[in-house]
Amino acid sequence: MQETIILDLTVIFVVATIIACIVHYFKHPTIPGYIIAGIIIGPGLHYLTQIPYIQGLLGVTSGFSLITNRELILTFSEIGIAFLLFIVGLEIDIKKLRHVEIVSSLGGVLQFLILFPLGYYIAWLLGFSQLESIYIGIVVLFSSTMVILKTLSDKKQVDTLHGRIAIGILLIQDFLAIFALLILSNLGNVTLFGFIESVLKGFLLIGIFAIAGKYALPWAFKFIAKSQELLFIAATSVCFIYTFLFDLGGLSMAIGAFLGGLVLGNSPYNIEIIGRVKVLRDFFATLFFVSLGMQIIFTDIFGLLIPLIVLLLLVLVSKPFITLLIISLFGYKKHPSFLTSIGMGQVSEFSLIIIAQGLALGQINERIFSITIMLAVITIIITTYLVKYQHKIYKNIHPDLEIFELMTTRKQQMEYLPRNRKAEVLLFGCNRTGQDILQTLIKDGKEVLVVDYNPDTIKYFIDKKIPSIYGDMSDPIFLDTLKLKPPELIISTIEDEFASKLLLNHVKKVNKKSTIVVSATSIPEALSLYKDGADYVILNHYIGGEHVSKMLHSALKYKSRLPTLRHKHIKGLESRKNTFLKVKKRKEGIIKQL
C-alpha cells in the first residue's frame, strides 16, 4: 500500500514537472500544463495501451494505468481545493473594493445578470438538461483570478486603471463563486425548507467565524506570530478547522477554507502566512489540477466538438464584448475598457472547482466535466497570447471601438493643462526614476507635462498644480489626440518595448527635431530602440550599477564624503516616502471620480 502511494505520487509529480517546464519555456500558465499532465497519465495512457502494437512494445494489457490508488489522489485533490481557496481568501483585501466600488460591484453584478442567463440558454439550446445548463452558465461566467493577476503583475499593470477595474470585478466574481458553491452543494435535495436551512446555517457559521476572526484570532495570533513555525501550524489549523466545521454542518468544505483565509487575510500577518502556506498549497493544488486531467473521458470526442466550439466563442468573444460594453457604460474610455475586457476571456479556476464538486455530487456527468476542462485549457492558453499582443490588437481594431466611446455616460476629468503654460518637456511615467527626473527638470526651471496611467499619481499632481494628464503611451489614439505642440525633449521611463517604438514612430512623424529618451529592460532591447531612432535609452540596472560603483570608488578614496552621501540619501528617501504616503491617502474615491 505504502509503495503504491509513493509510486503514484512519483509518477504524478515527475510528469507534471516535465510538462510544467515545457509550458514555462513557452511562457504559458502552468495550470493548463498540470491538467495536460493529468490527461497524459490518465486517459492518454489508457487509450494508448489499447493499441496492440503498444501493448506488445511495453508489455502491458489493454487499459493499463500507472496510477493504482485513484481514490487517495482524489482525496488529496480535495485538500488541494481547500488550500487553493484558503490562499485566495488570504490574498483578498476587502478594503480594495472601496477603491473601485461602483464599476466592480455594479459591473460585476451586471456581468452576472447578462452572462449567466446567456450561458444557461445556449447550453439548453445545445440539448443539456436544466441542471447541466445551470452549471455551464456558471462555468462561462467566471474569469481566472490567478491568470489575470499573473499577467497584470508580469506586465507591471496592477496599479493601472484597467488593472484595478479587472481586480475589482474579479473580487466580486470570487464572492459570487463562493455563493454558487454554497447553492450548488445543496441542489441534490432541492426543497424550499432545505435550501433556507442551508443558507441560514451558512450565515450562522459565517457570523460565528467573523466574530472569532475579529476578536479571538487577532489576540491568539499576536502571541503565535512571534514564532514562524507556530504561525505556519496555526494558520494550517485554522484552514482545517473551518473546513471541518463547514463539512460537519453539511456545507461545502471549499467555502469553509475560503472563509478561513478571508478572516486571516485581513490580519496584520497575512503576508507571512501566505509565504508559509504556499508550499502546501502548491503541493495539493498540483494534485488537484492533475487529477482533473486524469478524469477527462474522450469516449465521444466528435459529440463534444460542437458544444465546445460554441462555448469557446461565448467565452473568448461574447464575454469580453459584454465586459467592454459594461465598463464603457460606467464612463470609462475605450482603451482601458478594452484592456480590461480582453483579459477576461477565459474560464476560472473556481469554475474547475465548481465542476469538480458537481461531478463528485453526481449532479453532472463526465461529458460536462470533460468539456469544462478542455474549455479551461484552451481559453487560458489563448488569453495568454491575447494579453501579450493586446496593444497590437487594439491598434488594428480601435476604429471599430468608437461606438463604445460614444456610450460613456460621463466624462473623466483626470488632467491639469494650464493654457498659459507651454510644455518644454513631456515625461511619460512618473515612477521612482520618473520622480527623480521630474525634480531635476523643475529645479532647472523647465515646464514639464507628466503623462501617467496610474490614477493616484495624476490626482496627486493635479492637487499640486503640476501639469499632468492621465493616459497610456501604448495607446496610439491618445498620442494622436494629445494635441500638444511637440516639446523639445520627450522622456519615457516606461519599460515597454512596443510602447517605446510606438512613441518613437509617432514623434518622428510630428517633429523630427525632438530629443527622445526611452527606457528598456535589456541590452538587446536598448540596441533595438537605438536602431529605431532613440537619442538615449535608460537601462536602470546598468545606470544604477555604474552610479553605485562610482559612489563606492569616491567613498573609499575620500571616506569623509560617505556621511554626507548617507545623509543626502536618507533625506531623499524620506521625501519620497512622504510623497508615497500622500498618494496612498488619495486612493479612496479616485476611481469614483473617473
What would the DSSP string read from start to end of 212-276? IIIIIHHHHHHHHTTSHHHHHHHHHHHHHHHHHHHHHTTS-HHHHHHHHHHHHHTSTTHHHHHHH
In a domain, 427, yes or no: yes
Return the CATH number at 488: 3.40.50.720
Listed range (270-284, 296-310, 387-401, 474-488) with the worst mean pLDDT: 474-488
Domain final residue pick, 352, 380, 402: 402
Supply angle C-alpha 181, 371, 23, rounded to 5: 95
What DSSP element (H or E) covers 425? strand 425-428
Same domain, 338 and 449: no
Which domain covers residue 525, as residue numbers? 415-593
Cell of 563: 556621511
CA dihedral 208, 213, 217, 221 (to 10 degrees): 160
Tell me what the mean pLDDT of segment 570-588 comes to: 59
Is the pLDDT at 426 greater than 90? The verdict is: no
In a domain, 423, yes or no: yes
Is the pLDDT at 310 greater than 80? The verdict is: yes
Tell me what the mean pLDDT of segment 552-565 comes to: 62
* Predicted pLDDT of residue 593: 43
Of 581 and 82, more confident: 82
Same domain, 196 and 289: yes
Across the strands, what pairs with 450?
427, 468
- Measure the CA–CA gap between 100 and 587, rounded to whole angstroms: 10
Tell me what the mean pLDDT of segment 534-550 comes to: 72
Question: Do 527 and 506 meet the contact criterion of CB atoms below 8 Å apart?
Answer: no
DSSP state of 317: I
Across the strands, what pairs with 416?
468
Same domain, 325 and 266: yes
Same domain, 281 and 353: yes
Most confident stretch, 278-282, 329-333, 354-358: 354-358
3-state secondary structure of 199: helix
Q: Count up the domains in the chain and report the number.
A: 2
- The burial class, CB within 10 Å (0-12 / 13-18 / 19+), for 400 is exposed
* Predicted pLDDT of residue 276: 74
Same domain, 301 and 441: no
Same domain, 304 and 433: no
What would the DSSP string read from start to end of 510-563? H-TTSEEEEEESSHHHHHHHHHTT-SEEEEHHHHHHHHHHHHHHHHHH-GGGHH
CA dihedral 198, 202, 203, 205 (to 10 degrees): 140
Supply angle C-alpha 348, 350, 351, rounded to 5: 70
Long-range Cβ pairs for the range 146-151 (8 Å, 24+): 146/29, 146/31, 146/349, 147/29, 147/31, 147/346, 147/380, 147/383, 147/384, 148/343, 148/344, 150/29, 151/343, 151/383, 151/384, 151/387
Same domain, 119 and 243: yes
What DSSP element (H or E) covers 470? strand 468-470
Contacts of residue 334, Cβ cutoff 8 Å, sequence gap at least 6: 328, 398, 401, 402, 404, 405, 477
* Predicted pLDDT of residue 125: 92
Same domain, 194 and 333: yes
Tell me what the mean pLDDT of segment 432-447 comes to: 81
Same domain, 278 and 395: yes
The owner of cell 466580486 is: 172
Is the pLDDT at 124 greater than 80? The verdict is: yes
Of 582 and 381, more confident: 381
Cell of 56: 506488445
Tell me what the mean pLDDT of segment 285-304 comes to: 75
Strands across the sheet containing 415-416: 415-416, 468-470, 448-452, 425-428, 489-492, 515-520, 536-539
